[in-house]
């Protein structure tokens, strides 16, 4: 019977997560209900100023490119601290902050990560990904070999926590943990761009369990993104791509 249950259809992810226990004794919000609401008064900016800021920030972000070839030059620790702190300012479902950023600079661990990802990618490219998928990647010149995983000075592994445990022992659901973690990753990429560094937004397929074990992350966490971060290699190139114009991505109603 147990075997049947395991081979049956995968349990659909629920829109309304079940924390499994509605014991009235434990029905307390994870954040105290009497948390005070305090004034928030950022200085008002004129239309001229917000116009200028919006242009400047667009110009900065439009220069961001995914880079696959890094200089090995180390990054000051405080820069890594600050970009991760910035990611941690992202909004999250019920302020659950469902993320862990594992920043790896240790050459041996980087090498071990590279080994795992390259082994899986070899299978991904030859067996797991469809031929159309592999074909669609041709303009990006990606391949199973990932020298950047040992060459980039830092690897930031973004883990999503689906839930956590409260101090009273109750399971705390992390509502909207996928989109919350994705927003935090966006903040991280923006911070990387703002300070003049580059990253590669990589999503290692099928490497979650092995990387989680390697980095001793708990079962409630799942690897969502692996970002090599650093300065671009002086010879790096990027594909000459355009972005969709505003008219194609925005509807004004």
**Of the ranges 71-79, 135-143, 185-193, 237-245, which one interacts with ligand IYR (CB under 6 A)?**
135-143
Other Cβ atoms less than 10 A from the Cβ of 66: the count is 14
- The dihedral sign for the CA sequence 191, 186, 115, 211: positive
Give 98 or 204: the residue with its C-beta nearer to ligand IYR: 204
Q: Which of 92, 96, 89 is nearest to 187 (CA)?
A: 89
Q: Record the tokens describing residue 136, joined without a space.
A: 């669609």
137 binds ligand IYR, rule: CB under 6 A: yes
Longest Cα–Cα distance of the chain, Å, equals 68
Residue with nearest beta carbon to ligand IYR: 142
Q: How far is the CB of 217 from ligand IYR (least distance, A)?
A: 20
The answer to whether the beta carbons of residues 60 and 154 sit under 8 Å apart is no
**Of the ranges 11-19, 47-55, 173-181, 201-209, which one interacts with ligand IYR (CB under 6 A)?**
201-209
Burial (CB count within 10 angstroms: exposed 0-12, middle 13-18, buried 19+), residue 17: middle
The answer to whether the beta carbons of residues 211 and 223 sit under 8 Å apart is yes
202 binds ligand IYR, rule: CB under 6 A: yes
How far apart are the C-alpha atoms of 253 and 14, rounded to whole Å? 33
123 binds ligand IYR, rule: CB under 6 A: no
Q: How far is the CB of 178 from ligand IYR (least distance, A)?
A: 17
Q: What does the per-residue mask of binding to ligand IYR show for 143-162, with x meaning CB under 6 A?
A: --------------------
164 binds ligand IYR, rule: CB under 6 A: no
Residue 55 phi/psi, 5° resolution?
-65, -50
Q: How far is the CB of 113 from ligand IYR (least distance, A)?
A: 13
Give 144 or 232: the residue with its C-beta nearer to ligand IYR: 144
Interface with ligand IYR (CB under 6 A): 121, 137, 140, 142, 202-203, 205
């Amino acid at each position: 019977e147990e075997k049947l249950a395991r081979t049956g259809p995968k349990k659909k992810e629920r829109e309304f997560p079940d924390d499994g226990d509605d014991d009235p004794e434990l029905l307390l919000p994870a954040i105290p209900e009497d948390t005070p609401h305090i004034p928030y008064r950022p200085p008002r900016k004129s239309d001229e100023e917000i116009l200028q800021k919006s242009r400047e920030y667009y110009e900065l972000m439009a220069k961001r490119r995914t880079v696959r070839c890094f200089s090995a030059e180390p990054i000051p620790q405080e820069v890594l601290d600050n970009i991760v702190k910035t990611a941690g300012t992202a909004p999250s479902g019920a302020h659950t902050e469902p993320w862990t950023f594992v920043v790896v600079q240790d050459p041996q661990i980087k090498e071990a990560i590279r080994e795992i990802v390259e082994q899986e990618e070899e299978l991904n490219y030859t067996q797991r990904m469809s031929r159309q998928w592999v074909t669609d990647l041709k303009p990006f010149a990606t391949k199973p070999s990932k020298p950047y995983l040992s060459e980039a000075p830092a690897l930031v592994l973004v883990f999503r926590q689906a839930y956590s445990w409260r101090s009273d022992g109750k399971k705390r659901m992390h509502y909207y943990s996928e989109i919350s973690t994705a927003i935090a990753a966006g903040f991280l990429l923006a911070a990387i761009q703002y300070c003049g560094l580059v990253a590669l937004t990589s999503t290692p397929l099928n490497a979650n369990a092995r990387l989680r074990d390697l980095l001793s992350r708990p079962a409630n966490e799942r690897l969502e993104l692996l970002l090599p971060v650093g300065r671009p290699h002086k010879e790096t190139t990027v594909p000459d791509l355009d972005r969709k114009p505003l008219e194609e991505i925005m509807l004004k109603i």
